[in-house]
């Protein structure tokens, strides 16, 4: 499911057929909703995304073919966590979780908290 045409996050999650991946995606959504106070949940670029009202998406996640991706579109937050992100499978702006049992939900929660702590530029 690299690019979804779902209109909302519930519909997006309903498309996920792998139970272990669905569990991870639901947990990511729960963390986003819990930690990103004041952010709006919606769809952007075919994936669940979170943004401040009127702003660009700052956080998103997706069920890719080979992994689950967690997009962190704030360079300031990525730079602030450079030491903890160093050992992760990381692209320019996304963490790639190739094995569902290896998702570091503590790291994700901390990244979300740092994102919500203050404004920053979105890349």
Q: Which domains, and CATH codes, for the chain?
A: 9-116 (3.90.1150.200)
Given a contact cutoff of 8 angstroms between Cβ atoms, the answer to whether 99 and 55 are in contact is no
For the chain, how far is it from start to end, CA to CA, in angstroms?
24
Cα–Cα distance, 60 to 44 (Å, whole number):
8
Per-residue pLDDT of the chain (123 residues; tens, 9 = 90+): 457 889 999 999 999 999 999 999 999 999 999 999 999 999 999 999 999 999 999 999 999 999 999 999 999 999 999 999 998 999 888 999 999 999 999 999 999 999 999 888 888
| Radius of gyration of the chain, Cα coordinates, nearest whole angstrom | 13
> Please, is 110 exposed, middle or buried when counting C-beta atoms within 10 Å of its C-beta (0-12, 13-18, 19+)?
middle
What pLDDT score was predicted for residue 32? 98
pLDDT for residue 31: 98
Tokens of 73: 């579109």
CA 60: distance to chain centroid? 4
């Amino acid at each position: 499911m690299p690019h979804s045409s779902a209109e909302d996050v519930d519909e997006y999650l309903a498309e996920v057929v792998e139970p272990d991946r669905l569990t991870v995606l639901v947990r990511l959504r729960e963390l986003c909703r819990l930690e990103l106070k004041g952010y709006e949940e919606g769809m952007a670029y075919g994936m669940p995304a979170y943004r401040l009202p009127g702003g660009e998406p700052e956080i998103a996640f997706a069920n890719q073919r080979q992994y689950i991706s967690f997009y962190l579109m704030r360079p300031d937050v990525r730079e602030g966590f450079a030491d903890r992100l160093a050992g992760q499978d990381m692209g320019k702006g996304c963490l790639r979780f190739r094995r569902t049992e290896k998702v570091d939900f503590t790291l994700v929660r901390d990244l979300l908290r740092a994102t919500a702590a203050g404004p920053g530029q979105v890349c």
